[in-house]
Amino acid sequence: MKTFDHIIIGAGSAGCVAAATLAKSGRRVALIEAGGSDEGFLDALDAGRWKNLVGTKHDYDYRIEPQPHGNSSIRHTRGKILGGTSSINTIIAWRTPDYDLERWVEHGADGWGPNEIGPLFDQIFDHVHIETSTLENRFHHDLIEAAGQTGLNLVDFSPQNQVQDGVGYLYFNKKGRMRQSASVAFLHPLDQWGDELTILTNTRAIKILFDGNRAVGVETDQGKFYCDGDLILSAGAFASPTLLMHSGVGPADHLKDVGIEVQHDLPGVGENLLDHPDSMIAWETNRLIPAVDLNAMGMAAFGKTDPSLPVPDMMAHIGTAVFDTYTKPHGYPTAANGFSFSPNVARARSTGTVRLRSNNPADRPVIDFRYFTDPYDQFILTEGIKFSRRVAAESPLKDWIKRELFPGIDVQSDEEISAYARKVAGTVYHPAGTCKMGRADDDTVVVDSQLRVRGMQNLRVADASIFPTMIGVNPNITIMMIGMKCADLILEG
C-alpha cells in the first residue's frame, strides 16, 4: 500500500488549493474526492450552466430539518465533483472584509488578521482570474440613479477593495464564460501532475483511521490510504463534521446515542452552523430588461440598518429576472420580465447543528439551521425588504415597474413583512462554522489557529467549517484562502 505525505479529503474550494500548494512544494499528496472530474465537462466549466448540475448526481442536494421560524423546504446544493461547490456556484468574488478577519482574531484565530492574510489573497488572485460584469445597460443605469436618490452611491466592489455600503457591479471568478473554480485555477490540466499529486476521483471517504489519537489514513469505498504527515479534512461544512463524528471525534453523548465508539470527545463538532439566509422581493417590468451578465445577476447593494455601523449588515443580490423558487409554491404570481432583490443577513446570529442520523455513513446527516431563532436575523431581513422597496420607489427605476409581484403592496407592517420574508426565505448557500477555529479555553472550538483538531495529532480541517463567525460577503475566495493558509501552516512546520 502506497503511503503519502498528506491526504486531503475533499477536492473543493479549499481542498484543491491546499493540494496544489503542498504538491508544488514537493510534498506527495493524495486528494480524495467523492465526485468525478470536471475536466472537459462543460456544465461545470461554463459558468452560465450551473443549474444543469443542480439536483443531479453532481449535487449532494441536502435537505434540512423543519424550521419553526423559517422555510423548511430549503434545499442546500453542494458540488460533488472536482472543484466541489466552486464548480457549481455563481462565481461572485470578494476578499474577506478586514472587519471579519479582526473578529476571527478576537475569537482566538492568531495569525489570521488582515495584515497576515492580505498576501494570501494576492497569491490566490495570481491563479484565479477575476473580472466584472461586462454588459451594463439602461436598466442598470436607472437602478444606480434610483439607488443614489436613497443615499446609496455607486461603489467599486472589486476584491481589491474593502466592501462598503452602496450599489455596484459584482466581480466574478471567471474568464469570459469560463468558471475559475478551485480545480480550474489550481489543478488543471490534471495531466500536469506526477507523483507529487495523486487525484483519486469517485472515491468516498468513510472514516479517518487513527493510531491512538494520531490520524494515519482514511478508509474509503475504494480501499484504505495512509499518510505519514497531516491528514486534512476539506469536505465542507456538512461533510467535514459528519466524517469526524463517524470517526469517533465529536460530542461524546451524541456519538454514544448513535452507536459510535468515542475516539475523542469534542463537543463543538457539528455546532455553530452558520449561513446567509435571504428572502426575495420582485417586480414585473413593463418592458424587457436588456440581457445582462451570466446568471442574470450583475449587481448588488449593501446597506446599513444604522449609519453608525462600521460595516454594512445587509447585502442584496439584484437579479434581472424574477427569482421565484420559494415564492411560487405559495401561489405568489411570477412574470417573464422582471427584477428581484434578495436581501440577506450579512452576519446572521442564529446558529444550528449538524448531527448524525445513525452510525451508517451512507445516511444523510441531520441538518438543522435553526434559521431566524435569533430575532436579529428577522429584523435584518425585514429591513432588507424595506430597503429594496425604497430603491424601487425612486425614479427612474420606478418607471420600469408594472407591479410588485411579491410580497405584494398589501404587505406593509414589519410583522407582515417578517412573516412573509421568513416563509419564502432561501439561502445564499453559504453553510459554515461547524468545526470552528478559536482558543483553547472555549469548549466549542474544534480547531486551533493552526487548523489542528484539538486533542488529535496529524489532523487538520481546512474548509468553510472553520469559520468562527460568518463573514459579510460571499465566501468562496475566503475558503480558497483557507486552503492556502493550511498548506502554508504545514510547510512552515
Show which residues are catalytic: 430
Shortest Cβ 418–ligand FAD spacing (Å):
25
Does position 466 bind ligand FAD by CB under 6 A?
A: no
- For residue 213, the minimal CB distance to ligand FAD (Å) is 21
CB nearer to ligand FAD: give 204 or 389: 204
Give the sign of the dihedral formed by CA 106, CA 110, CA 115, CA 116. Answer: negative
Nearer to ligand FAD by Cβ, of 80 and 418: the residue is: 80
* Residue 244 makes contact with ligand FAD by CB under 6 A: no
| Residue 185, C-alpha cell as written in the block | 485555477
Distance of closest approach, residue 428 Cβ to ligand FAD, in angstroms: 7
Contact present, 393 and 384 (Cβ < 8 Å): no
Q: Which is nearer to ligand FAD, 268 or 483 (CB)?
A: 483
Q: Contact between 351 and ligand FAD (CB under 6 A)?
A: no
What span, in angstroms and rounded, lies between the C-alpha atoms of 144 and 42?
34
Selected binder of ligand FAD within 27, 28, 80, 370 (CB under 6 A)? 80
Tell whether residue 429 is a contact of ligand FAD (CB under 6 A). Answer: yes
CB 145 within 8 A of CB 167: no
Single out the residue of 38, 70, 71, 84 in contact with ligand FAD (rule: CB under 6 A).
84
- Interface residue with ligand FAD among 90, 344, 449, 469 (CB under 6 A) is 90
The residue number whose beta carbon is nearest to ligand FAD equals 12
CB of 476 to ligand FAD, least distance (A): 3
Q: Which stretch binds ligand FAD (CB under 6 A): 10-18, 61-69, 136-144, 186-194?
A: 10-18
Q: Would you count residue 9 as binding ligand FAD (CB under 6 A)?
A: yes
The 386-425 site mask, x for binding ligand FAD (CB under 6 A), equals ----------------------------------------
Q: How many CB atoms lie within 10 A of CB 360?
A: 10
Choose which of 180, 233, 463, 468 interacts with ligand FAD (CB under 6 A): 463
| 32-40, 129-137, 265-273, 347-355 -> range binding ligand FAD (CB under 6 A) | 32-40
169 interacts with ligand FAD by CB under 6 A: no
**Could you tell me how many helices (H) and strands (E) the chain has, helices first?**
11, 26
77 counts as binding ligand FAD under rule CB under 6 A:
yes
Burial 439-458 (b: 16+ CB within 10 A, else e): eeeeeebbbbbebbbbebeb
Is 16 strand, coil or helix?
A: helix
Q: Nearest approach, Cβ of 479 to ligand FAD (angstroms)?
A: 4
Helix (H, G, I), strand (E, B) or coil at 390: helix
Task: Compute the distance between CA of residue 451 and CA of residue 486 in angstroms, rounded to an integer.
Answer: 7
32 contributes a contact to ligand FAD by CB under 6 A: yes
Shortest reach from residue 249's CB to ligand FAD, in Å = 15
| Residue 206 Cβ vs ligand FAD, minimum distance, rounded to whole Å | 7
Q: What distance, in Å, lies between the first and last C-alpha atoms of the chain?
A: 26
241 cis-preceded (ω within 30 degrees of 0): no
Which 202-241 positions form the footprint of ligand FAD (CB under 6 A)?
A: 204-205, 234-237, 239
| 3-state per-residue secondary structure call for 225-255 | EEECCCEEECCHHHHHHHHHHHCCEECHHHH
Q: Does residue 461 contact residue 231 with C-beta atoms inside 8 Å?
A: no
From candidates 91, 231, 354, 447, binder to ligand FAD by CB under 6 A: 91
Q: Tell me the CA distances in angstroms from 254 to 249, 353, 470, 471, one per residue in order.
A: 11, 12, 25, 29
Phi, psi of 78 (to 5 degrees): -145, 130
Spatial neighbors of 470 by CB under 8 A, at least 6 apart, are 100, 274, 275, 276, 346, 347, 348, 430, 432, 433
For ligand FAD, the binding residues (CB under 6 A) are: 9-15, 32-35, 77-80, 84-86, 88-92, 204-205, 234-237, 239, 243, 429-430, 463-464, 474-476, 479
